Structure 1
Amino acid sequence: MKNLKLKIARVEKDLSQDELAKAVSVTRQTIGLIELGKYNPSLSLCVAICKALSKTLDDLFWEET
């Protein structure tokens, strides 16, 4: 399942995938795969992404049922 919440939060902060990737010490491809729902990030990476985007884990990674 695509992570549109992550993509929207990244765009709202006016960050490219590459800029976010550098901020959290991963590759641009990793951010792209997370947004496409093809990579399951570690909890520590999720936390780093949330801090970089000023969001909570629930904001970006909680799936509504």
Structure 2
Amino acid sequence: MTNNIRVERAIKNITQADLAELVSVSRQTINTIESNRYVPSTILALKIARVFGKPVEEVFILEEGD
């Protein structure tokens, strides 16, 4: 799975720390998700998508083989 979190953050002009605060996780958690080293829970993915005002499928993309 890949994600567009970095792009969406740039569009909203928010930092990893800002996003982390909005969804109640650490900045390091956002960093590992952005780097595709950690797959968020469904609840966290939905919270992140809500911050960006997008459906979860537009923020997180399933790749072939997932």
Contact 2:2 2:62 in 1 (8 A): no
The aligned counterpart of 1:29 is 28
Aligned length: 64
- Where does structure 1 lack aligned partners over 5 or more consecutive residues? none
Q: Quote the Cα distance in structure 2 between the aligned partners of 1:44 and 1:38.
A: 18
Using CA pairs under 8 Å that are at least 6 residues apart, name the structure with larger relative contact order, 1 or 2. 2
Unaligned runs of 5+ in 2: none
CA distance in 1, matches of 2:40, 2:2: 13
How far the C-alpha of 1:55 sits from its partner, in A, is 1.2
How big is the alpha-carbon RMSD for the aligned residues of Structure 1 and Structure 2? Answer: 1.4
- CA distance in 2: counterparts of 1:43 and 1:20, whole angstroms: 17
**Percent identity for Structure 1 against Structure 2:** 38
Structure 1 residues 62 and 2, CA gap change in structure 2 (3 angstroms): closer
Query: Is the strand fraction higher in 1 or 2?
Result: 2
1:41 has 2:45 as partner: no
